[in-house]
Chains A and B, each alone.
Chain A
């Protein structure tokens, strides 16, 4: 029992990850309770999506899984699938902005978060990185950048670069999938048309398929750092690379496919509403732009 508990302990303890995940969880619970007192129920599935996404991110970054990610290429690819795709999609699906905001103490909301959200610099910055073309370049570019063999080598040796790599994937994942999957009315001034979103998702899938296929089918070992530092268990470098390549190739493309289905559904829903044939919706939360 104790022996299995140690797998849950952080491999490289990061106070930042603990603080961000812990604080988000506390804010969400407080916010949902505060809204509940005002008669606004938070849909159960949203809470489930939020906590699943948060837990997956924490597990990927702060348990024995992190050790395996440092010493097995294919587990590393799985870690990034969670950080860059699965956890962000769940967090975006939960649309937790308003709940989290309600979870803040009144002073923090009024003096800290709301003025910060009105800050021009922040809003302009968000406008730049959330331009669909830039968002696409960032999303795919980060994957290509961290998988450049020389860059990957240093990221796996240097603890700081390793943290930077994982944080950049998680943050960019949230930004990208929010831009792709959030309802237009929740995106405010950043709203992107559904057609553009489908195009971006398809191009992202195509570029990830190309990279994944290249890694999977490449004969020579591309990432020798795992051999140098030792693998978590005995797997041949070729098999490790092929598995990692497949995880870069297929599941991300499937996530894009899923994204297209969600976008089509959003588009259908919006056009229904425009025609005034919208079914009575459960009282949703007006979610502001993050």
Chain B
């Protein structure tokens, strides 16, 4: 009789303990801490495009499913902003170690006249194997710039035929499923980008 009572009490204690543990877990399960970059989840459409890469091959968003994708618009003759941004992204990727293999940086040229595959290949190659140079006819380029509400504007050429192209400064970050997740403005640091990329690679 006594042993039965002890057993019953034990059972009750066990259930109480289980309940307590569940409560503690629930208390700990706070929402995820915010990302360091600008969170744009639900604001922009999923990754979608068809362009030609630096090897002259036609590629689309499907070729990058399963990888975290950074989308940036620029041009190889860009004097300052593009190389600086790409160098920041390169440092962020190097901080990931082997994780960088799950990331692709898509550099979409807003100057397809000058940025042929032959020009793009050594340019993106200099930043690392994760960098992909993309170009396309105006129609294909406008489809993707319109989709991501990005503007570019070709200035009139100077006496030497050189011209500048004004363009967006944003880096759009897509998760492995191709969903638009983050936006890095020009002042974003390599550390911040690397930290958020690590979370997206882990499936956050």
Contacts and interface: CB of A to CB of B under 8 A. Distances in A.
A12 B186 CA distance: 27
Nearest to B40: A157
A154 B167 CA distance: 20
Interface string A72-114: 0000000000000000000000000000000000000000000
- The 9 closest A-B CB pairs, nearest first, are A230-B168, A230-B151, A71-B151, A158-B43, A228-B170, A157-B43, A229-B168, A233-B153, A234-B166
Contacts of A229: 148-151, 168, 170
Interface string A149-177: 00000101111010000000000000000
B166 A154 contact: no
B149 A156 contact: yes
A230 B43 contact: no
B32 interface: no
A186 interface: no
Interface class of chain A by DSSP: helix
Interface in B148-197: 148-153, 155, 166-170, 183, 185-186
A230 B155 contact: no
A289 to B, nearest CB: 39
A224 interface: yes
A158 B44 CA distance: 6
Contacts of B170: 228-230
Contacts of A234: 153, 155, 166
B166 A227 contact: no
Interface class of chain B by DSSP: loop
A12 B45 CA distance: 14
A74 B45 CA distance: 26
Nearest to B145: A230
Interface string A13-44: 00000000000000000000000000000000
26 contacts: A12-B146, A70-B149, A70-B151, A71-B151, A154-B43, A156-B149, A157-B40, A157-B43, A157-B183, A158-B42, A159-B149, A228-B169, A228-B186, A229-B170, A230-B73, A230-B150, A230-B151, A230-B152, A230-B168, A230-B169, A231-B151, A231-B153, A231-B166, A233-B153, A233-B166, A234-B155
Interface in A224-247: 224, 227-234
Contact of B185 (A11, A67, A224): A224
Nearest to A155: B43
B63 to A, nearest CB: 25
Nearest to B152: A230
Contacts, number: 55
A239 to B, nearest CB: 14
Nearest to A162: B149
B153 A232 contact: yes
A232 B185 contact: no
B153 A228 contact: no
Interface centre among B146, B149, B183, B186, by most chain A C-beta atoms within 10 angstroms, is B149
A232 B150 CA distance: 9
A52 B44 CA distance: 34
Nearest to A67: B151
Contacts of A233: 153, 166
A33 B42 CA distance: 48
Contacts of B183: 157, 228
A161 B44 CA distance: 11
Nearest to A68: B151
Interface string A202-221: 00000000000000000000
Interface string A31-71: 00000000000000000000000000000000000010011
A71 B42 CA distance: 21
A71 B170 CA distance: 13
Contacts of B146: 11-12
A230 B40 contact: no
Contacts of B151: 67, 70-71, 229-232
